[in-house]
Structure 1
C-alpha cells in the first residue's frame, strides 16, 4: 500500500492512539480482492489479509487511533461520542490517487466506548459488508470494506454471538459531529480544523473569496445528492444522527439499514426509532436538519465585523438543499421511468407510479423492472384499482411518444437494479455464516457486484421476491 497519513497530523485532542485488541481464534470470512487491488495492496498484504482484517497486523507508518466527536442522536444532544468500537488503522492512496481511510470495526474498547465493549458481532459485520458493496455497485457514494473475519470468541448482545471484525474503507470519516465536539470542548481548534477539512476534501473552495461558505455549499450539495441517490434506489439508512453523516456525502455507518421491498414510504426499519424519525420518507428532511446543525457550528468562524452577513450566507447555503435534492431526485426518477427529463409532465408521471406502488403495496425494485420490460399486463394484474393503472399507462405512453425510446430504455436499464440486498437475503447469509459456511456471503457478493445484469444461474427466487403481503414488517436492531 501507498500510505498517506494525515489525520494523525491534527491536534492530539481530536483522537486517542491505541492498538487493536484481536479476537480469539480469528478466521477468514470474506475478502474483497477487487477493492484490495484498487487500494494497491501488495501480494504480501493480500496474503496477510486475515491478520490485517482481524487487528493482528498493523503498520509501522501509522499508529491506529480512535476519533472523538459528538452528536445529536434522534434529535437530542448526546454529548461526547467517538469511535467506541473502531480504529483508523491507516490512510492510503488508491489507484486514482485518492486518500482512503482504512477503519477497523470491532477492534475493542476505546476511551469513547462509554458502556460498550468495543466489539462487533458477525451478523452486523456481514450486513455492513454486503450493504457497502451493494451501494458501491449501484453507483452510490458509500463506504466499502476490504474484508471481514469471524472468530471463536463470543460477544454478548441479546444472546451470545460470534465476534467479528470488519476492515471498512471510506473517503472520509469526518462527521458533522466532529464540528459539534470541537465547538463544545475545544473551540480554539475550530478554524484550523475547518481549513484542514477544506484542504483535504474540498480544495477547490480555497480558490474562492470565502472558502468556508464555499465549503458549506459543497457539503450541502454532496449531502443532497447522496440522499437523492438513497431515495431513488429505495435505501433507508435508519439512523441519521449527526455523528453518522460525513462531510463528503458518502454513506457511512450501516446499522439498522434496509432496502424498500413493498413500497411503504413510512416503513420504520430501526426498531429503536419508535416515532419514525428516520423512516424512508423522512430522510430528506432529516438531512436538512442535520445540515442546519453543521452550519450552525460554522458560525463562530464569522468575521467579527460581518457576523450577520455570514449568518445569512449560511442560511442561503441551507436553502440550496431542497433545490439541489429535488433536481437530482427528479433526474434520477425520470431515468428510472424511461421518461425525458425536459418534458413538463415527466416527474408528475413518476410520482403517479409511486402512488400506485404505495396504494397497491407493490415491490419497489421489481415494479421498475416490469415497467422497464413493458410488462404492463403483469403490473396491472397486481393492482386492485385497474382503472387507475390504465390512466397511468396512458399518461406514460403519451409522454414517451415521439421520443427516442431506444435511448430512454437504455437509460432505464442503467438505473433500475434487478438485485438489492433484501433482508431475507442477508439473514440467510448470516445464518449460514454463524455455522461457518460463508458460501451464501460469496454468492450474494457476486450477485450484488453487477446488480443491473440478469444472473439467472446465480439468483435465487427469494432474491427478487418481496415478503408476502401479510408478512410483518422487519425492523433491525441497532446492536452490533
Structure 2
C-alpha cells in the first residue's frame, strides 16, 4: 500500500478525548466520485486512490499504515437542549496529514460503521445525504466560504434502513480539524479542567498560533468569535441556511461543517426554513446570527475555568468578548453586501440601502441569487435593469430602490466596467439550488444514474462564470419543482 504521511496529533491527547475504533468493512465498495484537485492539494496519489487499495481505504475496508482511526468525543446543545455525550456516531477519523500548503488536515470517513458513540444507530450513511454533502461542501468551497471538503464518495454495496431501504455510501471528508464547540462542552460538563486546558492549547497550536502568553485563552475565545462572525456573514450574503446549528455542528476552526438539512434560499425571506426537523424555525435564515452568538456563549461558558480563577471575573471577561460578535458580524455583513452592490467606498446610508433592497425583495418575492446577479449585469449600463426588474412582483417598488442605488453609484470613483467586473466576482450565477440537488440525488438513488450529479458538480465548480448551455442550472425552480423540506442523514 502506498504510504500516506500521517501525523496524528489528536491521538496524542489523553484517551478520554476519543475512542479507538476501526471502520466496519463493506461488501462491495464502488468508487463513484473522487475529487482530483483536492487529492492533489493533499499530496495523495490519484492513481492509487482509484486502485482497489485506495478504494478500500475510502470505503473503510482497509486502514493504511500510519493511520490511527478514532471516534472523537463531544457533547452539544441540540435545538437548545443539552446532551452531555454525543460524539462521532457514524464518522471515523482515519488520521491527519499536512497538505502541500503546509496546512494540517483531517481525513475522516463518514458512514464508516458504529462507534462507542453511536447511541443505537447503525453508524452508516445513505447515498442521498452523502451526495448532498459532497455537492454543497464543494459548492461552498468554490464560492469562497470556509468549509469542510469532500474527497470521495463510495457506494458500499449494502443497504441502510431509514424510512425505507436505501443504498449505503461512505463520504471521505477533509477538514482542518473536527473540533467543535461541543468538544469543549464535553469536558466542561465533567468538570475536567485539565482536559479543557489541553484541548484549548491543542486548538491554539493548530488553528490560532498567534494566541500566546498568559492571555491566550481569552485570545482563543476572541479568535473563535471573530471567525464565526465572519463565517455567518458570508453565509448570509449567499443565501445559505445551515439548517442545524447545534453547538456540536460548529467548528472552532471557523469552517462550515455537517451539511445535513442545509439549503440555499430561492425566494428571499428571512424566516425561510427547509430543515424538516426544525419545526419552530430556530435555525431559520434570519436567526443564524443570534444563534451563532448563543452558541458562542456556550463556548465561553466552557472556557470560564481558563479565563480567570474568580468566577465573577471570568464571566465578566467572557461577556465583554461576546459583546464583540454583533459589531463584527454586522461589519462583515455590510462589507459583503457593499461588494455585491458595487460599492467600494463606505457611506453611512449604505446600511439602509441594503436593508431597503432586502425588504423590497421580500415583498416582491424575488429570487435572492438572481437579483444580485442581474444587478451586476446592469451595473455597467446607466438604464438597463429590466432583467432584474422582472424578478419582482412589485416592479414599481424596485424602480424606486434602483433610483437610490444609481444615485449612490454616481459617487463611486471606479469606472462602470470595473464596478461590473467586481460585482460579477461577488455575485454567483450558480448555487446548489435545492431542486437540482434533489434531482441529482433521485437519479443516483433510484436509477444508479450519476450523470446529473456530475453535471451539477461541474457547473458549481465555476459559480461566477456564465456557462452557455447551462442556463437551466441558474433559474429558480418552477412551482412543481420547489423543495419544501430537507432532511438530516441519520
TM-score, normalised to structure 2, is 0.94
The correspondence for 1:393, drawn from 402, 427, 431, is 402
Contact 1:335–1:408 (CA under 8 A) maintained in structure 2 = no
> Structure 1 stretch 37-46 or stretch 128-137: which is displaced more?
37-46
Change (3 A) 1:382 1:138: closer
Cα 1:474–1:182 shift into 2, 3 Å: same
1:341-395 C-alpha deviation (Å, 9 max, x unpaired): 4122223212211112111111111111111111512332343433322210110
For 1:470 and 1:54, the matched residues in 2 are separated by 37
Asked if structure 2 preserves the Cα contact closer than 8 Å seen for 1:30 and 1:438, the reply is: no
Aligned mates of 1:303, 1:393 — CA distance in 2 = 52
> Is 1:199 paired with 2:215?
no
- Tell me which of 134, 140, 144 is aligned to 2:139: 134
Q: Distance in 1 between matches of 2:424 and 2:471?
A: 21
Query: Given that residues 59 and 90 in structure 1 are in contact (C-alpha distance below 8 angstroms), is that contact kept between their aligned partners in structure 2?
Result: no
Q: Aligned residue for 2:448?
A: 436
Q: Deviations over 1:216-263 (max 9, x none)?
A: 000000000000010001100000000000111100001000011111
The 4+ residue runs of structure 1 with deviation greater than 6 A are: none
Q: Distance in 2 between matches of 1:381 and 1:460?
A: 17
Question: Quick one: which of 38, 44, 49 aligns to 1:35?
Answer: 38
Structure 2 distance, partners of 1:43, 1:446, is: 19
The match for 1:450 is 462
Shift of 1:471: 6.8
CA distance 1:222–1:148, change in 2 (3 Å): same
| Structure 2 counterpart of 1:477 | 487
* 2:85 aligned partner: 80
Relative to structure 1, is the Cα distance of residues 16 and 352 closer, same or farther in structure 2, using a 3 angstrom cutoff? same
CA pair 460-380 structure 1, distance change in 2 beyond 3 A: closer
Counterpart of 2:430 (choices 413, 419, 432) is 419
**2:338 counterpart of 1:334:** yes
How far apart are 1:191 and its partner, in Å? Answer: 1.5
Corresponding residue for residue 381 of structure 2 = none
Equivalent positions of 1:81-480 (< 5 A) are 81-185=86-190, 187=192, 188-206=194-212, 208-304=213-309, 306-374=310-378, 375-403=384-412, 404=414, 405-434=416-445, 435-457=447-469, 459-461=470-472, 463-468=473-478, 474-480=484-490
Distance in 2 of aligned mates of 1:79 and 1:311: 22
2:31–2:155 CA contact under 8 A, matched in 1: yes
Describe the SS at the equivalent of 2:157. Answer: coil
Q: Tell me the distance in 1 between the aligned counterparts of 2:393 and 2:251.
A: 43
The correspondence for 1:12, drawn from 1, 12, 15, is: 15
CA contact (8 A) 2:26 2:156 kept: yes
- In structure 2, do the counterparts of structure 1 residues 384 and 363 end up closer, same or farther at CA, with 3 Å as the change threshold? closer
CA distance in 1, matches of 2:326, 2:101: 32
Gap change, CA 1:373 and 1:19, over 3 Å in 2: same
- Give the C-alpha shift of residue 97 in structure 1: 0.4
Higher mean displacement: 159-168 or 439-448: 439-448
Distance 1:393 1:460, change over 3 A: closer
CA contact (8 A) 2:293 2:325 kept: yes
Asked if the contact 1:232/1:332 (under 8 Å) is kept, the reply is yes
Asked whether the equivalents of residues 57 and 64 of structure 2 are also in contact (C-alpha less than 8 Å), the reply is no
Q: How far is the alpha carbon of 1:340 from its aligned partner? A: 3.2
Change (3 A) 1:470 1:55: closer
Q: Following TM superposition, by how much is the alpha carbon of 1:467 offset from its aligned partner in structure 2, in angstroms?
A: 2.5
Alignment counterpart, residue 23 of structure 1, candidates 16, 26, 32: 26
2: CA distance, partners of 1:105 / 1:186: 30
Give, in whole Å, the separation in 2 of the partners of 1:44 and 1:379.
47
Counterpart CA distance in 2 for 1:407 and 1:307 is 54
Identify if the C-alpha distance between structure 1 residues 360 and 309 changes in structure 2 by more than 3 Å, giving closer, same or farther: same
TM-score, normalization: structure 1? Answer: 0.96
Paired with 2:201 and 2:392, the residues of 1 have a C-alpha distance of: 55
Q: Equivalents in 1 of 2:238, 2:91: separation in Å?
A: 29
Moved more, 158-167 or 404-413: 404-413
| SS in structure 1 at match of 2:105 | strand
Could you give the per-residue CA deviations for residues 125-176 of structure 1, whole angstroms, max 9, x where no partner exists? 0000011100000000000011101132110001100000000011110000
Q: Tell me the matched-pair count.
A: 476
User: For residues 185 and 423 of structure 2, what CA distance do their matches in structure 1 show?
Assistant: 41
How far 1:186 moved relative to its partner?
Answer: 5.7
Q: Tell me, in whole angstroms, the C-alpha distance in 2 between the residues paired with 1:78 and 1:456.
A: 49
Deviation at 1:307, TM superposition (A): 3.9
Which segment is superposed worse, 131-140 or 19-28? 19-28
Structure 2 unaligned blocks of 5 or more: 379-383
Determine the structure 2 residue equivalent to 1:47. Answer: 50
Indicate conservation of the 8 Å contact 1:23/1:163, yes or no.
no
